[in-house]
Structure 1
Amino acid sequence: MPQWGDRPLVGRDAELARLLAAVDRALEGRACAVLVAGDAGVGKTRLLDELAARAAGRGLRVLTGHCVDLGDVGLPYLPFVDLLRPVTGEPAVPSAAAPPALAGLAAGRAAGGVRELPSGDAADLGRPLSPRPLVDDGRLQVFESVAGVLTELAAEGPLLVVLEDVHWADRSSRDLLRYLLARLTEAPIVVVASYRSDDLHRRHPLRPLLAELVRMPGVERLDLAPLPDAAVGELVRGLAAGVPDRTVDDVVVRAEGNAFYAEELLAAGLAGETLPMGLTDVLLARVEQLGAAAQQVLRVAAVAGRRVRHELVTAVSGLAPAQLEAALAEAVHHHLLVVSGDGRYRFRHALLREAVLADLLPGERVRLHATVAAYLAATPGAGTAAELAHHARGSNDLAGAFSASLDAAAEASSAGAPAEQLQHLEAALALWTAVPDAAARAGRDQPTLLLDSAAAARTAGEPTRAVALIRSALALLGPDGDPVQQARLHYRLAQALARIEDQAAAYRESSRSMELVPADPPSPVRTWAAATHARTSYALGRRAEADAAADEALAAADALALDSAWADTAVSLARMRGGGDRDAVTRRLEEALVRARRSGDTDVELRVLFNLAVVPYESGDVGATLRWVDAALARAAELGVEWSFYGAELRHLGVSARYVAGDWDGSLELAEGLARVPEMAAHVRAAGLLVQVGRGDASAAERLVWARGLTARLDAHVLLLLATAGAEIDLAAWAGDAGTAAERARAAVRQLHTHWDVDRLAALRLVATALAPVGDAAAAARVAGDDAGVRHWVALGQELVTLASSAVDDHLRGVGPLGVEAVAWRARVEAEAARLAGRADPGPWRAAVEAFGYGHVYEQARSRWRLAEALLAVDDRTAAAGELRAAAEVAARLGAAPLRSAVTRLARRGRLDLPGTGRVPAASAVFTPRETEVLRLLAQGRTNRQIGAELFMSEKTASVHVSRILAKLGAGGRTEAVALAAARGLLTAPAS
């Protein structure tokens, strides 16, 4: 186990708040107590450490005592000896006679007037006390003395008493705790005691005490539930930097909210282990405390599954009914098994089951699997096909496992679970060669089973896996195989390749499919081959070839009543021949939707729904887009195909459309809404980066590291590239890093050109965003008189403008007119280009504001900010103030902190009053007239000698003025002083 640094406290805000509320009551002079319950490893100690630190920060004295598991020979009062040791000055390591430390308390506190503990036998708490006429065997004096010491300490200041692991407390300590909570009701003392709830079996001695304590006034119980998955992920990333997402996901799933397990699993994952030996030992130690029959029940339950019916345990365990009942009761009472609401038994934690399984001998495991499989096969309704397949494989019954896997795949398909369907189909494929009559059992040949598996992979959002499976089927079929079957595999492969952005390969595969099957007579395979070829040809700009294939597919689909093929082809034609008539295109798509639903082809149905959402988006109707997206996502969830290609595209469109509409919370929620996101749908999550960057969220940089790594691995994933590059450029732009912004834009546009040769208008957004800091850098160079810098930044900016112009020209030639979003971004590029050239022209910026008025709330506000800057340059202060107020309102509503700061800085530079930013002082209120003249020359890069010469003063006098300017601005140097003065609107012409 590596030695981690400080363990972050995650997922415990509510619990910490409750504990701090108890601390606040102590600060107000009231006593209270909190009993903190939670399973071993759930994070009790870390929470109490944080509480202690926070309480100390609020002025409380903190005393902490720990109970230790010493079995039946535990030292009495050990936790109280521990917590009072700092008061008494006792050694850090107690001797075997540790309890007399309480007697030492008398000497340690006597000078302060605290009552002494009794001497003699009563003082030696390690031996039986002599009989005394006192309540409770003479211990009252001891209890009262401890209470007195704590009261005296509390009189000096509020006190936090922490007792950890009281499930191990000895009887005397438990009795003393009961006494203190009843006695200390008036002092400013908060007592917090923690214990393991999973250790409290039915006869545990702490149980009756807890039942009594929670009935006392001022005593409350706090249950620590397992951490949420998100908190475990945060914990893992906080423990070790750069942990791969797959490792994080694995730890989150297996730890089930237990912080200790998460740490151990992370250490094991980084070391390449499966289940850490230390963790296995911890888990098995609890199992070994049970009797032989109870351990046998746990072994049966471990093999049977995480949740197991009573009937199955009865059938497999071989125990007599009475013996079985007693064994189950023992396992339940020791919190190793839990009874679910449906009456099944389940392990309290999955890792406990893993440990029991790992401890089984190979022969015993095979025997138990065989017994469970036989019971499931002979008992209808006793389990699922997936369970039978698992146990058949575990018992080496490969033929039975093959058949059960196919049945399990069918069940998963019916339940709308494509990922599980794929898992079971691939399990059957792995067994194919080991089962002599596999084809007869499957009712199909191996290439067909591979094709079915590929379909499941596509639906599950694993298109790369689908490509591999179809290629395996083609290789198995060979060049001499049935032409019709070959053609089907080729067009399916073309469809899968198109979804991983390999359009050239997709075109080759659809062409090959067309060659294998004649057009006459029409056939379903030829019809789908033509429909697919139309799509791949359109993607490469082969319009004539695409039109011919589409016309053939549409006619054949009509003749053969192939509704899904007709709908798919109608979408292609509507999008390519719509001619900008939105209503006509929508009507055609709605007709296609009816046919797609009638056919039952969910993939085509989602393609139609996606295009019905895209059409209004392209015309600037973001509201209509969101209505279609919401309806389509609900339909995808209903069908269980949320991460199919078009299911993911619809979610991505929803994230983007909500960002554009100004619903940034909704955008983030949609981007982060589901835990499982296939790699090929990573662009959905990455699209949320624009909101994080726009808000100045510090976590954006960490998320970008993840996105960059995934982009490098999935080189052809263009939408992921665009989401990542767009966020990176925007982040660099707000940081004023013009070089990074420009380089990232150039690299992204080059990659975009590789994959989307003609239709690459996304370059406009990347270039426009990168031009902003480049223009700023050019403007700064002009102010500083840096001619070389001006030439450098202008040349770099012009290169970016050329990239944008090329993308527009290619689109107009190869695709058609620009949509409203592209028009807006082109206007932004033109406005940035004017600023780059040093022209303070409000016209281009006003055009950008109007263009983004179609519904892009944030970019319109950002354009207003730049328009205000241009208006100030031409001294139209009234109009500039209006634009800034509008931009500030949007920035505040969206939580767009960087834009809000930029608007505020501009208002100060222009000495404009902006609500919420305070009044801007005039330069004359800050600097003397002479200092104002010196500051103006400082901004021009003059030395002290040059300033003195121009203003007819000595170099020394100029130096004094410069020093005063730096002091007033709080600047560390001349360059910083100029920057601060400009940002605060103090860099003005000299007073007349």
Structure 2
Amino acid sequence: MQQASSATPVVGRDGELTRLCGVLERARGGEARAVLIAGDAGVGKTRVLDEVGRQAAAAGMTVLTGHCVDLGDVGLPYLPFTEILGVLAADERFAGALAAHPVVERLLGAGTGSVGDVDGRLRLFEGMAGLLTEVAEVAPLLLVLEDLHWADQSSRDLLRFLLGRGVLRHRLAVFASYRADDLHRRHPLRPLLAELVRLPVVERMELRPLADPDVDRLVRALEPRPLPDATVRRIVERAEGNAFYAEELLAATDTESGGVPSGLADVLLIRFEQLSEMAQQVLRTASVAGRRVEHDLLREAAGLPEAELESALREAVGRQLLVAGEGDTYSFRHALAREAVYADLLPGERARLHGAFARLLAGRGRPESAAERAHHYRESHDLPEALAASLQAADHARRVGAPAEEQRHLEAALDLWTAVGPEARPPGVERVTLMLRASAAAAHAGELHRAVSLARSALAGLGQDADSELAARVRYTLAGNLLSVDSLTAAFAYSSEALAMIPEEPPSPTWVWAAATHVLAARHVGENETALEVARRALGVAERLRVTDAQADLLISLAVFDGEGRRGLAGRQLLVKARELARSSGNAPVELRALFNLAMGCYESGALAECVPWLTEGLDRARRAGLLSSTYPLEMRYLRLLVLNVLGRWDECVRAAAADADVLPAAGGYTMGPALYVTLARGDFAAADRARALLEGPFDWMATLVAGIVLTDAAALRRDPEDAVRWMRATVSGLIDESGTRPDVTVRLAALALSAVADAASGLRSAGDDAGAGRWTDTATELVEVARAMAVRDDGTPQGPEGQAWLARAEAEWIRAVSGPDAAAWARVVTAFGYGDVYERARCRLRYAEALVAAGRREEAASEARAVRETADDLGATPLREQVDDLIRRGRLSDGPGSDGRAAVLTAREQDVLRLLALGRSNRQIGEELFISGKTASVHVSNILAKVGASSRGEAVAIAYREGLIAPEPTTSG
């Protein structure tokens, strides 16, 4: 059936178009945003984006579109962005911008060097961000990314970077579409979407199926001739709101069969079979190439003269099965059409065509085509060539800084290895070393458990006659990977085997590294004497061999394990020396280990200001080395946020956490912990849900620690002693190492749980229930004894200032549980937290003020309460502010000159709400202005009415004016 126009009308999408055009209008004004457009296959995502792109171009915007392509198990790194760069390179307006960012031209095969070297990946990301910014300065820019569900991981990482790192501060809008029905639970796009929608500049829009009347309108608009109502009704019924289904069903109504097929694939094939045999053959060939194919490549694969090919293409384009694209390419109008044609190929035909494409691509000699060649060779059953191409694709992925793609290509090569005879395998490549390389790529991509699995496979692949040095290297590599996933006993066993395989004499670098790994493993299982003895021996060998990076690694172990450790001056001097040795050798991972321990030593000794420069240097070094997803940089991210949290720089902490979330691997979720501490302290108990989510999946020591702190503190804030004690015990139990030693954080967890226990005991005692209070007193005694035991390490050295402060709080909470508040005990706690923890010191000052009230020292109590309230306001710690206001009210404390009325009991947030209430704002409007939900605003309004003793909003405003809680707004005349 011929249709009136090759362009499908946009029907039933007025609301979505209005919303997207509003985003474009704001982008032209400098207020940029990104919209993630979800919808089922065929629902109309591409048509909506085409229409928006047309309107954007008409308004003077530059429109750049990049498409993702399904290549099965492998991915072509940065494909949609490469397509975008190709469009920019063809436009003279942007020649200067491209020249200013040469690193991005490497994706086009131009330029020199590699984006897989030390800082290549970051330079590529920053180069792309800079390029888009400059393009947006020439003209407002709309960036369209289609079919994100097929995006490779490198493209997903680059998108995460662009949206999270300020690109949207310019005249730029990003619209990205994906198939919602393709996103199964483990789809790699799901976690990225969850991260992106939390960004304030990103919103999500879902294209739902069209309503039946809209499908009716669409069908009648597509066909200029009158259609029988029964035909339209049948199409509407079968389309089920899917625009593409409706188009295809309509297009099939003129077939000789005279009926509507039962499945969409049948419909597509009916349309396909209406073409000439030559056009069908061209479409079959194109379906093997993928969604898009170059004209020359299609001609050679189809084996047709130019004239015959053009005739077949003209027919396919006329029937709207193919569309002509830029760069002399053709693509299927919809992915479902390609899938249907491809599925209809005979097995032999499919293999033959894949082989043809593989050979043609190989003849072009483009390194970036290796992933496509690997795909085609594999589907054509040419396994030796598929193996070689997979290895080439892995090399290319490494050069362009795509470790996840490198890992996948290496694993594809490993899958093919046994199916390819020894004589056909690439020379100089061994299966075990290939597994070790895949393990390293997985670790670099943050897939720590997969790195362990691959190293185990390498161990299993060692033959009886394997070289002893290779066997040792496999074992200590596996041991190091196991340490990263907290499998400590197994790590110690493998490091012991590795060390036993290589003789100490004659000395060798392999023995030194085996020893260095064994030192770490021994320490983690409590074999401290063994760790120190081996470290000292190995250090001497490393010095004789001048293996400076191993020497640095061993110096770090000695600095951390010996004497006062990294908290002491001697330990820090060793760490500085180790950093210099590692830097001179070029071993970035060892240098990062030294920098982390320098920062941690400062933190543990209470020198928070000294901690920050080491963290800054360490994260900068990791960024330049491309190692931000490795273990020590992740821990440095956590420590940086923790320092900001402790110093009371909460807004900085939250902003830094949001920025870090852009580039975190799956194993790095715990690094957001300090931001969760802030969120909880500000009264958002959803932090507990996010903390609980950290416990899902394989065990992670740091994730367990973070979750335990948040969940124990949340229970204490809810005054739920049973839950607080339960989480404290469960967390400590989970963190006990394999030598049976409890973690240092036990002291903090015990103090937090004791807070809830003391509240319960005090409340029961006040109510005359001495038996109930006694039960909680017994629990309090148990908890404080645990805290006392853990505040001193096995070697007799006490924990640092932080640990001692938490012990002091545990003691004071225990006294409160047993006999009531003790001002002297809380004074000691306040002093102990004076090392720099702003929030915890304020919480303890509140307890101190309560104890002073109980002791009748009301003037001192009032002074402490005012200080706590000031800190709570500075931090935005709403629950703390409400607690101190409650103390001021209950204790009838002086709140300073002129502030002894109702204003003393209004929180800062309630005062903001009251001001907007006086301006006549509704709950929804209050929520929008204060960036809170309407429901939360309603709660604040109810609290205000109760506190000022009003029965209505108007009466509350009148009381507020009368008592000076708010001042009238000035008129325009002043």
Q: Which residue among 577, 583, 587 is the counterpart of 1:591?
A: 577
Structure-2 residue corresponding to 1:680:
667
**Cα distance 1:254–1:728, how it changes in 2: closer, same or farther (>3 A)?**
closer
Deviation at 1:370, TM superposition (A): 2.3
User: Using the alignment, how far apart are the partners of 1:200 and 1:679 within structure 2?
Assistant: 35
Deviations 1:902-956 (A, max 9, x none): 2221222122354899635799xxxxxxxxxxxxxxxxxxxxxxxxxxxxxxxxx
Amino acid at match of 1:720: A
**Cα distance 1:643–1:450, how it changes in 2: closer, same or farther (>3 A)?**
same
Superposition pairs for residues 602-621 of structure 1, below 5 Å?
Answer: 602-621=588-607
Amino acid at match of 1:415: V
Maintained 8 Å contact 2:592/2:622: yes
**Does structure 1 residue 695 correspond to structure 2 residue 695?**
no
Amino acid at match of 1:618: E
Q: Which residue among 864, 869, 873 is the counterpart of 2:850?
A: 869
Maintained 8 Å contact 2:384/2:425: no
**Does structure 1 residue 444 correspond to structure 2 residue 429?**
yes
Amino acid at match of 1:641: L
Maintained 8 Å contact 1:297/1:328: no
**Cα distance 1:622–1:317, how it changes in 2: closer, same or farther (>3 A)?**
farther
Superposition pairs for residues 387-426 of structure 1, below 5 Å?
Answer: 387-426=372-411
Structure-1 residue corresponding to 2:639:
653
Maintained 8 Å contact 1:746/1:800: no
Deviations 1:12-45 (A, max 9, x none): 99949969x99xxxxxxxxxxxxxx9999679xx
**Cα distance 1:879–1:541, how it changes in 2: closer, same or farther (>3 A)?**
same
**Cα distance 1:670–1:877, how it changes in 2: closer, same or farther (>3 A)?**
same
**Does structure 1 residue 497 correspond to structure 2 residue 482?**
yes
Q: Which residue among 663, 686, 690 is the counterpart of 2:649?
A: 663
User: Using the alignment, how far apart are the partners of 2:595 and 2:335 within structure 1?
Assistant: 41
Deviation at 1:500, TM superposition (A): 1.6
Structure-2 residue corresponding to 1:721:
704
User: Using the alignment, how far apart are the partners of 2:814 and 2:557 within structure 1?
Assistant: 37
User: Using the alignment, how far apart are the partners of 1:195 and 1:421 within structure 2?
Assistant: 35
Superposition pairs for residues 255-404 of structure 1, below 5 Å?
Answer: 259-260=205-206, 281=245, 303-304=288-289, 312-313=297-298, 315-316=300-301, 362-363=347-348, 365-381=350-366, 383-404=368-389
Amino acid at match of 2:677: L
Maintained 8 Å contact 1:38/1:196: no
Superposition pairs for residues 467-616 of structure 1, below 5 Å?
Answer: 467-478=452-463, 481-577=466-562, 579=564, 582-616=568-602
Higher relative CO (Cα under 8 Å, sequence separation at least 6) belongs to 2
Maintained 8 Å contact 2:685/2:714: no
**Cα distance 1:804–1:575, how it changes in 2: closer, same or farther (>3 A)?**
same
User: Using the alignment, how far apart are the partners of 1:222 and 1:450 within structure 2?
Assistant: 44
Structure-1 residue corresponding to 2:809:
828
Q: Which residue among 693, 697, 702 is the counterpart of 1:706?
A: 693
**Does structure 1 residue 761 correspond to structure 2 residue 747?**
no
Amino acid at match of 2:670: H
User: Using the alignment, how far apart are the partners of 1:697 and 1:332 within structure 2?
Assistant: 58
**Cα distance 1:222–1:590, how it changes in 2: closer, same or farther (>3 A)?**
closer
User: Using the alignment, how far apart are the partners of 1:489 and 1:773 within structure 2?
Assistant: 49
Maintained 8 Å contact 1:283/1:355: no
User: Using the alignment, how far apart are the partners of 1:447 and 1:429 within structure 2?
Assistant: 10
Q: Which residue among 172, 175, 198 is the counterpart of 2:50?
A: 198
Structure-1 residue corresponding to 2:127:
none
Amino acid at match of 1:599: S
Q: Which residue among 439, 444, 451 is the counterpart of 1:466?
A: 451
Maintained 8 Å contact 1:39/1:197: no
Deviation at 1:646, TM superposition (A): 1.9
Structure 1, unmatched stretches of 5+, are 1-8, 23-36, 47-164, 168-193, 212-220, 265-275, 924-966, 972-992
Amino acid at match of 1:471: R
Deviation at 1:824, TM superposition (A): 1.6
Maintained 8 Å contact 1:390/1:401: yes
**Cα distance 1:326–1:821, how it changes in 2: closer, same or farther (>3 A)?**
farther
Deviation at 1:423, TM superposition (A): 1.4
**Cα distance 1:782–1:200, how it changes in 2: closer, same or farther (>3 A)?**
closer
User: Using the alignment, how far apart are the partners of 2:490 and 2:53 within structure 1?
Assistant: 64
Q: Which residue among 604, 608, 611 is the counterpart of 1:625?
A: 611
Maintained 8 Å contact 2:579/2:591: yes
Q: Taking structure 1 as the reference length, what is the TM-score of the superposition?
A: 0.63
User: Using the alignment, how far apart are the partners of 2:207 and 2:800 within structure 1?
Assistant: 53
Maintained 8 Å contact 1:686/1:707: no
User: Using the alignment, how far apart are the partners of 1:601 and 1:307 within structure 2?
Assistant: 43
Maintained 8 Å contact 2:323/2:332: yes
**Does structure 1 residue 249 correspond to structure 2 residue 197?**
no
- SS of equivalent residue, structure 1 residue 383: helix
In terms of Rg, which structure is larger?
1
User: Using the alignment, how far apart are the partners of 2:449 and 2:363 within structure 1?
Assistant: 40
Maintained 8 Å contact 1:523/1:560: yes
User: Using the alignment, how far apart are the partners of 1:907 and 1:797 within structure 2?
Assistant: 28
Structure-1 residue corresponding to 2:762:
779
**Does structure 1 residue 853 correspond to structure 2 residue 839?**
no
Deviation at 1:421, TM superposition (A): 1.9
Deviation at 1:694, TM superposition (A): 1.6
**Cα distance 1:263–1:225, how it changes in 2: closer, same or farther (>3 A)?**
farther
**Cα distance 1:836–1:404, how it changes in 2: closer, same or farther (>3 A)?**
same
**Cα distance 1:325–1:903, how it changes in 2: closer, same or farther (>3 A)?**
farther
Structure-2 residue corresponding to 1:789:
772
Amino acid at match of 1:390: H
Deviations 1:356-400 (A, max 9, x none): 766766555434432322222111237332232222222222111
Coordinate RMSD, CA, aligned: 5.1
**Does structure 1 residue 740 correspond to structure 2 residue 723?**
yes
Deviation at 1:724, TM superposition (A): 0.8
Deviations 1:872-912 (A, max 9, x none): 22222232223222222232232222222222212221223
User: Using the alignment, how far apart are the partners of 1:460 and 1:470 within structure 2?
Assistant: 15
**Cα distance 1:282–1:777, how it changes in 2: closer, same or farther (>3 A)?**
farther
User: Using the alignment, how far apart are the partners of 2:311 and 2:51 within structure 1?
Assistant: 21
Maintained 8 Å contact 2:35/2:204: no
Structure-2 residue corresponding to 1:961:
none
- Count, aligned residues: 726
- SS of equivalent residue, structure 1 residue 688: helix
Maintained 8 Å contact 1:284/1:352: no
Structure-2 residue corresponding to 1:912:
893
Structure 2, unmatched stretches of 5+, are 1-12, 27-33, 61-139, 149-158, 165-173, 211-239, 252-267, 905-945, 951-974
Q: Which residue among 788, 811, 829 is the counterpart of 1:805?
A: 788
